[in-house]
Structure 1
Amino acid sequence: MIRTWLSHKGDEPIQGDEQQIGPWLEQEAGTIWIDIDLRSFSHAKAEQLLKRFACHPLAIIDTFRPRHPPKIELFDEQIFMLYRGIQHCIGDLKFEHMQLAMFVGKNYLITLHDGQSQGIENLLQQPFHKYLQHPLSLASRIMHSASTLYLNQLLEFEDQLSELEEQLSSHGDDQLLSTITRYKTDILRLNRIFSYHLSLSKKLLHLEQEQSVNNIAIDQPVLQDLHERFERLHSLSSMYYDICGDLVDGYLSISSHKLNNTMRVLTLITAIFVPLSFLAGIYGMNFEVIPELHHPNGYFILLGTMLLIAVSLIAIFKWKRWF
């Protein structure tokens, strides 16, 4: 499926379809945005269309790859960007991602994606026509719109993270540890995506120094706003990843401390009963000649000795603050 929006000199854009592209290519009057959903539009037709706009063959190959890291490449009078967009927000730091390819020219923007792009659909609900005269700004707003979904999820997770901290300090268990570890993995995955996006926005900020694309209008405040958004996403995900790591380390430290205390108590109990067991073992042997056995108070003397040893050991352990 192809959707197009054509605007002349800042007027309200006229929405159309594939039929709008041919006349525009002949005259190149106004600015056009071509959005291609590859679910209902063949790759062969999309490739032919991109060639009509003189898109670089390597960029076309990267467009149709099923998975490719986000990036930006500069060609003669054209900018090619790959962005990790969002098809569906599952929630709980989970997203159904999609690859969004964008070709930016002097007076056109081509977006290609396999599935519905939440960033594009959200932008269409806003007055986007003011950006249509500057295709690079429009592409930036598409990425900014998608990044809002990322940001909302991270801010919601901040409240969950506070609850996890309280639960872990009050009654932490292995199930809670498993939950935090899963969150840590999800955040790491997002942080890797944000790192790519941050590199992309950094390069966009320095486009004015590139001679090959000086024909493309650059709205620096819009690019700066996009860069700040990606920077914030990257810093938040890094911070939350560190917090989750600290929570896991803290739980393991507490568990280890509890285990050490348990082992210390068991060791002290064993240390107390070793000499008592030694005495019981000696006088429990079946020899005929054990003089103490014939003493009239031998039993009570042995019990007293064992009690004295036990009390003495307990006193020593208390003095050394071993428990």
Structure 2
Amino acid sequence: MLTTLLYSPQDNSLIQGDDSHIAQWQQSDDAILWLNIDGELTEPLQAMLKQTFNLHQLALQDASRDRHPPKIEDFGDHTFILLRGLSADSESINCDNILLAMFISERFIITRHSARSLSIERTMAALHAGDISLATGTGALSLKISRFVVKRYHKILFDLETRLEQLESVMLTTADDKVLAEVVLYKTDLTRLRRNFHYHVELFNNLRDEPSLPFDSALAHEINDVCEHQHRAASLADLFYQVASDLIDGYISISAHRLNNIMKVLTIITAIFVPLTFIAGIYGMNFEYIPELKNPYGYFIVWGVMLCITAVLIWLFRRRKWI
């Protein structure tokens, strides 16, 4: 589906429509066009974009894919940016990604996303509400979209922080394999997110260090702001990845410690009963002549010896602080 927003600086008007506004934009010298493509970037559509906006074929191929690493590329008269955003129904760390491609020139911005994008919808809503304006330029608009993209990541990361704190309290008191499985899944999801964030950090660092058209010096503060948001997301993902790793290691250590305590108790019980079993085994043999069997106090003597051995062993274990 194609959606266009045509901005006229002469009367500060903003008109929403379809691809029929492209011809009107071509006839104007100062109008700014936002062309949004929601869905597949077909070959006929690629051919139209290549001919009308002078977009490079390889960049169009990258924009048409559903899986591609984030990137930025300077084509002289326009800049190509490819981001990896969240799908519209992603509200937790177990999220799905969509590719968001942007072609930014001084007089046009073309966006393409393979599925519904809340970042695009929020930007369009802000334009219609007058919170932002295309009068500030297409570069500022693309940075606004990028900021919306990373802010959605911030939300799920902050939610994850709360959940990890809860799991930390649970894991210190309860050895539950379900809790461990949940933390392992979080670590897996964070691995994927860290990869995305580091791509984004490198992308916007390059844009800040070597700005391309239409990102001029007037947008330096906006670029720095987006860079800070990306760095924050990357640092949070790295931090929570380390926290998840520490929780897994801590869970394993606590489980091993509990197992060691259980084995220590069982070993002490075994150590106590070994000599008692030895004595019982001696006097349980079916020999006809065992002198102690004729002693009228033999039963009580054996019990006394067993109790003394038990007491001595318990005293010895306590002295060595084994129990």
Q: Same fold (TM over 0.5)?
A: yes
Which ranges in structure 1 are unaligned for 5 or more consecutive residues?
Answer: none
SS at match of 2:90: strand
Which range moved further: 49-58 or 87-96? 87-96
* Alignment map for 1:1-323 (pairs within 5 Å): 1-9=1-9, 11-39=12-40, 43-52=42-51, 53-126=53-126, 127=130, 129-208=132-211, 213=212, 217-218=216-217, 219-323=219-323
For the 8 Å contact 2:66–2:114, the answer to whether it is kept is no
Report the CA distance shift for 1:128/1:7 in structure 2 as closer, same or farther (over 3 A): farther
SS at match of 1:91: coil
Report the CA distance shift for 1:34/1:214 in structure 2 as closer, same or farther (over 3 A): closer
Which range moved further: 88-97 or 54-63? 88-97
Report the CA distance shift for 1:313/1:259 in structure 2 as closer, same or farther (over 3 A): same
**1:228-255 CA distance string (max 9 Å, x none):** 1111111111111211221221121111
SS at match of 1:314: helix
Paired letter, 1:66: D
Distance 1:50 1:197 in 2: 26
Paired letter, 1:147: V
Distance 2:80 2:102 in 1: 6
Paired letter, 1:47: Q
For the 8 Å contact 1:93–1:187, the answer to whether it is kept is yes
For the 8 Å contact 2:76–2:213, the answer to whether it is kept is no
Paired letter, 1:116: R
Distance 2:282 2:299 in 1: 13
Which range moved further: 123-132 or 216-225? 123-132
SS at match of 2:87: strand
Which range moved further: 223-232 or 300-309? 300-309
Paired letter, 1:19: S
For the 8 Å contact 1:180–1:248, the answer to whether it is kept is yes
Which range moved further: 223-232 or 298-307? 298-307
**1:42-81 CA distance string (max 9 Å, x none):** 6123201221211112111111122101111112222111
Shift of 1:27: 4.2
Identity of aligned residues (%): 38
Which range moved further: 251-260 or 16-25? 16-25
Q: Alignment RMSD, CA only?
A: 1.9
Distance 1:140 1:172 in 2: 46
SS at match of 1:147: helix
Shift of 1:86: 2.5
Distance 2:320 2:85 in 1: 63
Distance 2:61 2:30 in 1: 29
Q: TM-score of the superposition, structure 1-length normalised?
A: 0.91
For the 8 Å contact 1:103–1:109, the answer to whether it is kept is yes
**1:272-321 CA distance string (max 9 Å, x none):** 11111111111111112222222222222222112111111111111101
Paired letter, 2:166: E
Distance 1:275 1:131 in 2: 90
Distance 2:87 2:312 in 1: 72
Which ranges in structure 2 are unaligned for 5 or more consecutive residues?
Answer: none
Shift of 1:214: 5.0
Distance 2:90 2:39 in 1: 22
Q: How many residues align?
A: 317
